[in-house]
Amino acid sequence: MTLEYLMKHYQQRVDKQLDLCLPFANINPSRLHEAMRYSVFNGGKRIRPLLVYLTGKALGVDDIALDAPSCAVELIHAYSLVHDDLPAMDDDDLRRGKPSCHKAFDEATAILAGDALQSLAFELLSHNSEMIKTLAVAIGSRGMVGGQAIDIAAIGQSLNIAELENMHIHKTGALIRGCVKMGALASEMIDENLLNKLDHYAKCIGLAFQIKDDILDIEANTETLGKTQGADLANDKVTYPSLLGLTGAKEMATELIADAINSLNDLDQKADPLRWMASYILNRNY
């Protein structure tokens, strides 16, 4: 079994589950539901649901118990991208090679679609209070939304590497850490020590994920990225390459991935897909 096979398998699985839980576009208010579906089914790689599934599988959890949290984190991710692309935020017209939600529909519909996707995510987790708390913290003012606020405030400002890392631990890393924790929480045998090690894994891959995004913003093209190439530079954002140089940023990402893999030493071969996932994040080209 390979990571490529697992990615395809779980992409198909979570897409099927998402199709079942999202309102159909012909149900009123139809334009809102159409925008929600447009934003979810637009070619995403489903990295965050995959982390939920792979973490749960490493701990012997059945896929059925992982479907709801996997769908929830993808709905949250989709909502965050819809809002990030808005003119008041990153003001990006492209997302995954297609018009952003506010360009395909309109700003008001995009805002409401994001709101509704977030609400649906928590509805799916209504059976598990610990998962609700985990996701809420991951995406709130102490997590993803807080990181976005820091990002906006930092435009045109000078940041050092510690401040940049703090921003991305919140903006990108918090939801990734939430994905891994929710996958672990689905196991009845999880303990605090293993939770901490899995969280360290997730923290490392979350930062490496962002560093790689910063590198690709320079090295890849718009067609490959599916979003506007060079947007960080155009928006005068501080990035890892701007502080460390491309070579330094690549070295930091490599070190983080090695640290992530080492944190899984207590887990057996069932955790190999998590190890493969870490390497994939480092070596991806889009």
Distance CA(144)–CA(168), nearest Å, equals 9
DSSP string, 144-201: HHHHHHHHHHHTTS---HHHHHHHHIIIIIHHHHHHHHHHHHT-TT--HHHHHHHHHH
pLDDT at 188: 87
Task: Give the amino acid at 138.
Answer: A
| Strand partners of residue 98 | 95
- Chain CA centroid to CA 109, Å: 23
pLDDT at 155: 81
For the whole model, what pTM was predicted? 0.92
CB atoms within 10 A of CB 166: 16
pLDDT in tens, the chain (286 residues): 899 999 999 999 999 999 999 999 999 999 999 999 999 998 889 999 999 999 999 999 999 999 999 999 999 999 999 999 999 988 898 898 899 999 999 999 999 999 999 999 999 999 999 999 999 999 999 999 999 999 888 888 888 999 999 999 999 999 999 999 999 999 988 899 999 999 999 999 999 999 999 999 888 665 555 555 555 555 567 899 989 999 999 999 999 999 999 999 999 999 999 999 999 999 987 7
Angle at 60 between CA 64 and CA 280, to 5 degrees: 90
pLDDT at 236: 66
Q: For the chain, what are the domain ranges? A: 3-283
Domain 3-283: which topology?
Farnesyl Diphosphate Synthase (1.10.600)
Distance CA(15)–CA(274), nearest Å, equals 21
3-state secondary structure of 250: helix
Helices (H), the chain: 3-21, 30-40, 47-58, 63-84, 101-104, 107-124, 129-139, 144-154, 161-168, 174-185, 192-219, 222-225, 231-234, 240-262, 272-283
